[in-house]
Chain A
Amino acid sequence: MTARPALSRLGPGPIPARAGIGLRAEHYDAVLETRPPVGWLEVHSENYFGAGGKPLDYLERIRAHYPLSLHGVGLSIGSTDPLDHRHLAKLKHLIRQFEPALVSEHLSWGSAGGRYLNDLLPLPYTKEALYHMVARVARVQDRLARPILLENPSSYLQYVESAIPEWEFLAELANRTGCGVLLDVNNVYVSARNHGFDPSAYLRAIPRHVVREIHLAGFTVNRFDDGELLVDTHNRPVWPAVWTLYRQAVQRFGPIPTLIEWDTDLPELAVLVDEARRADAILEERHAQAA
C-alpha cells in the first residue's frame, strides 16, 4: 500500500473535534459564498447517488474547503432482505470520489420483501437480531474496506420481543464488529421520553472509546388524547433538555465531532451556524478541562 498524504487532493482531511453542520441543497450557494466558520460538513450519501449533475458538482466545490462526513439513510442494514449490492457499490464509488473522513449508517432497517419504507425502523433487540446485525455490519465494512459508524435511531415503539436494552445492543455490536458509534443525543432523549428510560443511564452504558461522532437536532411533541410522543423531525433548534444531555455526553466521551442536523423547514444558514457555535462553546470547555 502506498502512503497517503495527510491532506487529500480534494480538501481538508480528518474531522476536527468541533461542531459541523448538515449540508442541504438549499444552502449550497450560501456555503460557497460565505464559507461559514464551521469545523466540517455532513451530507446524506444517497443525495449524491446520481451519476452526475449539479448535486455532485456542488459537493465537489464545497469539499475543497471542508472536511466531509457521509451519512447514509437508505442502506437498510438491519433488514433480513439480502444487502443491496448496487447501493453499496454506489456508496463505495462516492467514498472513492470524495474521501470522507467518516462514513455512517443507522442501527435500523427500512425494507422487507423488497418493499422500502424509506424510514428508520427500529429492530427488536434480541439475540437473533444482534447476530444478524453483527454479520451485516461486518459485511458492509468488508465491502467498503473501512469501519463505519452506526447511529442510534429515535424510536416510537418497542417490540414485545425485545430482550436487550438498546444501549447494550449497540455497545455489543460495536464490540463485536469494531464499528464506531454515532451517538445521536437528541435520539437518546426522544426515545427515553417515548419509552420511559433514563437518558443519562443510556450514555453511561456506552463505552467511552466507541463514540466517534455526536448528532444534535430538534424534535416535535405530538400530543394525543391518550398521551404524547416525541418525533425526531429535524425542523427546529436543539431543545434545552437536549443541550443539557449533550453536556453530559461531552463530559463522558470527551470533545467529539458534533453535527447540527436540520432537514425540514430549513432556516437561513446563519441559524445553523449559530447552533454549531453553541455546541463549539461546550466542546471548548471540555478541551480546556483536558488541557
Chain B
Amino acid sequence: MPRLRELQLGLVSALLDGDEGDFARHIRAAGLPGARRLQIYRNNTVLGLTDALAAVYPVTRRLVGAEFFQYAAAQYITRHPSRSGDLHEFGEHFPLFLQSFAPAAELAYLPDVARLEWAYHQVFHAASHPPLDVAALARVPADWQGALHFQLHPAARLLESAFPILRIWQVNQDNYPGDPTVDLAEGGVKLLIVRRENLDIEFQVLEDGEFSLLRALTTDGDFAMACERALATQPTFDLPACFQRHVLQGALVAFRLLDH
C-alpha cells in the first residue's frame, strides 16, 4: 500500500502535471471513472487559482480578454505553481511570465501593466506606518545630513515603464468616463504608487529627477548620493521642494544614519 506521502505527491502531480491516467488506480471507480473524479479537482484548482490571478490582474485580463487570460493563467499555474496557502502571495511572477509568453508578444506593454497591478496589490495589503519624525530630522547636524538613508512607506512602490501604463490602467477601469483610446506614442511614465492614511491608493506621475531621487534614497543611496543622481538626471529640478513634499505627504517615513 502506498504511503500517505506518495499518494499526496501523486495527486498533486496528477492535477498539475497531468499524469492522470497513472493516478486513477488509487481512486474507487464506483459510479464514475476515476479520471472524471480527478477532473473535478483539476477544474477546482485551475478555476480557483485563475480567479485569484484575475482578482490581482483585472486590467491585464481586460486587455487580453477572458478567454486568453484563462489560457495564460492555466499555463502560469503549471509553470509557477502556488507556493502558499495564502492566495495573496500567488501571481508574483505573472508579469515576468507574460514577458516571455509568446502568444502575448505583440502586446509589448502588457508585462508592465501587470507590474503596475502587482505593485497596486502589494500596496493595498501592506502595513501602515506613522509619518516621518520631522522634528528629529531637523535635529540632524548639517554635516551629517549627506549620510542619511531613508525608508519608503511600506505601502508605496516606485515603478517606471517605457509605455503609458498609467493611462492604460485608468482607461480600463470600470465606468471610465472619457475617451478610452491610448496613444502608445505618448511614451513612458515614472510612478509613485502610495496608499494614503484613509487607505485610498494614489498614483503620482513623477518627474525624472524626482523619480531618481526617491529611488536612490530608498534603495542603496545616502542623501548626498541621491541628490547627485537626481540632479544629474534633471539639472533644472527643484530638489529641496520635492524632498520636502515627499516627507510631508508621507512617501518617506523613516531615516537612519549609517556608521561610517
Contact = CB atoms under 8 A, between A and B. Distances in A.
Interface of A: 46, 49-55, 57, 73-76, 79-80, 84, 87, 90, 109-119, 121, 123-124, 126, 128-129, 132, 156-162, 194-196, 222, 224, 226-227, 229, 231
Contacts, number: 146
Contacts of B128: 52-53
A163 B180 CA distance: 61
Given A46-B87, A52-B128, A115 B41 contact: no
B86 interface: yes
A226 B33 contact: yes
Nearest to A156: B40
A69 B156 CA distance: 32
A87 B31 contact: no
Interface size class of B (residues with CB under 8 A): 35 or more
Interface in B116-161: 124-128, 154-155
Given A80-B8, A124-B4, A161-B1, A117 B82 contact: yes
A196 B28 CA distance: 12
Contact of A117 (B12, B26, B30): B12
Contacts of B9: 112-113
28 contacts: A50-B88, A51-B125, A51-B126, A51-B127, A52-B125, A53-B125, A53-B155, A54-B199, A74-B86, A75-B85, A80-B4, A90-B86, A110-B85, A111-B12, A112-B5, A112-B9, A116-B82, A119-B44, A124-B4, A126-B1, A128-B3, A156-B41, A159-B28, A160-B28, A196-B30, A196-B31, A226-B33, A231-B44
Given A53-B126, A53-B128, A118-B48, 5 more contacts: A74-B87, A119-B45, A126-B4, A161-B2, A226-B33
A46 B88 contact: yes
Contacts of B49: 118
A49 B195 contact: no
B188 interface: no
A52 B37 contact: no
A227 B52 CA distance: 30
A159 B41 CA distance: 14
B82 A118 contact: yes
Contact of B126 (A50, A75, A159): A50
A168 to B, nearest CB: 17
A224 B35 CA distance: 12
Contacts of B184: none
B27 A80 contact: no
Contacts of B31: 194, 196, 227
Contacts of A79: 8
Contacts of A227: 31-32, 36
Given A79-B8, A118-B49, A53 B124 contact: yes
Find the residue from A132, A157, A161, A162 having the highest chain B CB count within 10 A: A157
